[in-house]
């Protein structure tokens, strides 16, 4: 039988790599006719008389385009074909009637539906459309390949960064050497909770001489690695492990130490940050020297929230000089002021992550809210008080994740035994 085969344009008829077509047709004569036509159009053709034979051929080599007759379990073949591999081919289902068939065919995995009685010109047009679809798909895959490779690299980089951040958090937490310290005349409790992997808050203490201890709470601007690095550097200036490098201490004849006025220490830190550190960060600081014999506490405040003094009778006092943050302005003075504690009083130095913590409506806790909260927690002491404060704060915020770092140091004054 002589077939009238339409010609294709030269670009389509002789592609660099001829598209392969799988013909699945139970009628031998029709299968032969389709195969002859396709070969005349420049396609590489294989044929199968059954669904099983077609799937076996697909396992050997995946076709670009599939022509499948509805008569040989067309829908079942579509589903089985799509389950074989995620690789995309263009699948055209040949049907005797399109009525009630198109939706089922497309849902089963077919890309196009064509009447079996359609002429060869229409079949050729559908094949060309399929070839264009596959070409665009290959082109898109090639263009996406660099993006995919870049995303893989970024995932690996992020994994390494996450690992480094975990180690950085361990290091930062190690700066807080002790969470609780019992001393003659009083006890110290500390907490440090970063909003992210690492943060800019730090609290700590350092011994001055028997019965006298230095306390500090600082909060570096911003979040993340640069803030954490700044915090680690500042920790060295107020170190308990190396008193000879602690700016808050002065060496006396005989090898003992005395405390410098806290305001003088903060002023020196201000000059260091402005003139010797190349950084855009600034920080707030509360520095206190507590005499555990007399209960007198000398305090200097540099933009840090007011200390909370919890009296033994339940009153909460919050006052201070305010002051400028460290590292903003040159030549700024920082004043010392005194607090007098009585046995049973507690002094709490907190970062602004507490007072500026918002509720779900965006309203901040503030000093009044903090005073109410501390009043509700007055029966707690030591680390339990700090843990309960964090719990109450998460209850206020409606979340256990806070937008800012939360830190605090608690001095419970007992007085002389």
Considering 7-16, 47-56, 137-146, the range whose residues carry the highest mean pLDDT is 47-56
> In this structure, what token pair is assigned to residue 66?
């599939």
Structural domain ending residue among the three candidates 90, 122, 142: 142
Asked, for residue 159, whether it belongs to a domain, the answer is no
Please, what is the Cα angle at 213 between 251 and 231, to 5 degrees? 85
> Same domain, yes or no, for 189 and 132?
no
- Nearest-CA neighbor of 319 among 304, 331, 329? 304
Asked, for residue 47, whether it belongs to a domain, the answer is yes
Overall average pLDDT of the 359-375 stretch: 94
Q: Are 273 and 326 in contact (CB under 8 A)?
A: yes
Q: Tell me the Ramachandran region of residue 353: left when phi exceeds 0, alpha when psi lies from -120 to 50, beta otherwise.
A: alpha
> Same domain, yes or no, for 188 and 331?
yes
Overall average pLDDT of the 53-61 stretch: 85
293-306 confidence digits (pLDDT tens): 999 999 999 999 99
Q: Are 204 and 216 in contact (CB under 8 A)?
A: yes
Considering 72-76, 165-169, 264-268, 330-334, the range whose residues carry the highest mean pLDDT is 264-268
Residue 11 reports pLDDT greater than 70: no
> Same domain, yes or no, for 259 and 373?
yes
Asked, for residue 10, whether it belongs to a domain, the answer is no
Phi, psi angle pair for 116, to nearest 5°: -65, -30
Asked, for residue 164, whether it belongs to a domain, the answer is no
114-131 confidence digits (pLDDT tens): 888 888 888 899 888 888
More confident residue, 342 or 196: 342
Residue 200 reports pLDDT greater than 50: yes
Overall average pLDDT of the 202-218 stretch: 94
CATH number of the domain where residue 288 is located: 3.60.40.10
Question: What pLDDT does 105 receive?
Answer: 83
Question: What pLDDT does 157 receive?
Answer: 79
Q: What percent of the chain has pLDDT over 90?
A: 43
In which band, very low, low, confident or very high, does the pLDDT at 372 lie, cut at 50, 70 and 90? very high
Task: Determine which of 168-182, 347-361, 362-376 has the lowest per-residue pLDDT on average.
Answer: 168-182
In which band, very low, low, confident or very high, does the pLDDT at 9 lie, cut at 50, 70 and 90? very low
CA distances to 75, 176, 274, 409 from 201, in Å: 65, 11, 20, 12
What residues make up the domain containing 67? Answer: 15-142
Helix axes 120-175, 225-237, angle to 10 degrees: 10
> Same domain, yes or no, for 182 and 321?
yes
Supply the mean pLDDT for the chain.
86
Question: What pLDDT does 2 receive?
Answer: 40
Give one DSSP letter per residue of 85-98, joined into a string.
-S---EEEEEES--
Number of domains in the chain: 2
CA dist., res. 326 & res. 365, Å (int): 25
Overall average pLDDT of the 323-341 stretch: 93
H or E segment to which residue 387 belongs: helix 382-397
Asked, for residue 157, whether it belongs to a domain, the answer is no
> Same domain, yes or no, for 210 and 281?
yes
Q: Are 390 and 365 in contact (CB under 8 A)?
A: no
> Same domain, yes or no, for 330 and 372?
yes
In which band, very low, low, confident or very high, does the pLDDT at 57 lie, cut at 50, 70 and 90? confident
CA dist., res. 11 & res. 277, Å (int): 68
Q: Are 204 and 242 in contact (CB under 8 A)?
A: no
Asked, for residue 296, whether it belongs to a domain, the answer is yes
In which band, very low, low, confident or very high, does the pLDDT at 360 lie, cut at 50, 70 and 90? very high
Structural domain ending residue among the three candidates 118, 142, 166: 142
Question: What pLDDT does 15 receive?
Answer: 42
> Same domain, yes or no, for 325 and 272?
yes
Question: What pLDDT does 6 receive?
Answer: 43
Phi, psi angle pair for 302, to nearest 5°: -125, 75
Question: What pLDDT does 3 receive?
Answer: 42
Question: What pLDDT does 171 receive?
Answer: 61
Overall average pLDDT of the 200-205 stretch: 88
Asked, for residue 50, whether it belongs to a domain, the answer is yes
Question: What pLDDT does 161 receive?
Answer: 65
Name residue, tokens 């599939």. 66
CA dist., res. 74 & res. 155, Å (int): 42
CATH number of the domain where residue 66 is located: 3.40.50.2300
> Same domain, yes or no, for 272 and 339?
yes
Structural domain ending residue among the three candidates 94, 121, 142: 142
61-70 confidence digits (pLDDT tens): 888 898 888 8
Residue 196 reports pLDDT greater than 70: no
Residue 17 reports pLDDT greater than 90: no
> In this structure, what token pair is assigned to residue 86?
């995620």
Instruction: Please name every residue paired with 112 in a beta bridge, in sequence order, or none if there are none.
Output: 92
Strands (E) in 186-277, as ranges, are 186-193, 201-209, 212-220, 249-251, 257-259
Residue 16 reports pLDDT greater than 50: no
Question: What pLDDT does 86 receive?
Answer: 52
In which band, very low, low, confident or very high, does the pLDDT at 325 lie, cut at 50, 70 and 90? very high
Name residue, tokens 């920790």. 235
More confident residue, 3 or 195: 195
> Same domain, yes or no, for 335 and 273?
yes
> Which DSSP category does 263 fall into?
H
Q: Are 353 and 307 in contact (CB under 8 A)?
A: no
Q: Is 149 exposed, middle or buried (0-12, 13-18, 19+ CB in 10 A)?
A: exposed
Task: Give the SS3 label for residue 231.
Answer: helix
Residue 417 reports pLDDT greater than 70: no
> Same domain, yes or no, for 100 and 201?
no
Asked, for residue 152, whether it belongs to a domain, the answer is no
> Same domain, yes or no, for 136 and 211?
no
Task: Determine which of 159-163, 224-228, 235-239, 322-326 has the lowest per-residue pLDDT on average.
Answer: 159-163
> Same domain, yes or no, for 85 and 226?
no
């Amino acid at each position: 039988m002589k077939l009238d085969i339409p010609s294709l344009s030269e670009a389509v008829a002789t592609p660099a790599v001829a598209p392969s077509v799988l013909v699945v047709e139970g009628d031998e004569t029709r299968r032969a006719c389709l195969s002859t036509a396709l070969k005349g159009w420049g396609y590489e053709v294989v044929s199968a008389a059954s669904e099983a034979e077609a799937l076996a051929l697909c396992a050997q080599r995946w076709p670009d385009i599939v022509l499948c007759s509805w008569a040989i379990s067309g829908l079942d073949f579509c589903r089985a074909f799509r389950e074989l591999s995620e690789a995309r081919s263009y699948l055209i289902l040949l049907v005797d009637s399109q009525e009630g068939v198109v939706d089922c065919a497309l849902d089963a995995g077919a890309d196009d539906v064509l009447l079996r009685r359609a002429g060869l010109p229409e079949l050729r047009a559908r094949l060309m459309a399929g070839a264009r679809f596959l070409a665009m798909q290959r082109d898109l895959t090639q263009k996406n390949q660099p993006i995919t490779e870049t995303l893989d690299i970024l995932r690996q980089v992020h994994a390494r960064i996450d690992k480094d951040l975990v180690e950085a958090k361990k290091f930062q937490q190690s700066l807080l050497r002790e969470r609780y310290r019992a001393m003659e005349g009083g006890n110290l409790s500390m907490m440090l909770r970063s909003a992210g992997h690492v943060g800019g808050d730090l609290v700590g203490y350092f011994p001055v001489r028997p019965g006298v201890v230095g306390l500090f709470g600082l909060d570096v601007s911003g979040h993340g690695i640069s803030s954490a690095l700044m915090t680690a550097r500042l920790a060295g200036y107020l170190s308990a492990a190396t008193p000879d490098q602690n700016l808050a201490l002065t060496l006396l004849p005989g090898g003992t130490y005395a405390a410098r006025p806290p305001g003088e220490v903060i002023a020196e830190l201000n000059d260091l940050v402005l003139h010797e550190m190349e950084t855009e960060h600034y920080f707030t600081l509360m520095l206190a020297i507590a005499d555990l014999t007399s209960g007198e506490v000398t305090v200097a405040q540099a933009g840090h929230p007011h200390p909370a003094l919890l009296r033994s009778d339940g009153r909460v006092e919050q006052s201070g000089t305010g002051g400028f943050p460290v590292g903003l302005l040159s030549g700024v003075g920082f004043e010392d002021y005194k607090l007098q504690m009585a046995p049973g009083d507690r002094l709490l130095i907190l970062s602004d992550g507490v007072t500026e913590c918002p509720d779900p409506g965006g309203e901040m806790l503030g000093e009044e809210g903090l005073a109410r909260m501390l009043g509700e927690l007055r029966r707690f002491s030591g680390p339990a008080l700090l843990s309960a404060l964090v719990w109450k704060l998460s209850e206020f915020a409606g979340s256990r994740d806070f937008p800012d770092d939360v830190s605090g140091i608690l001095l419970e004054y007992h007085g002389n035994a």
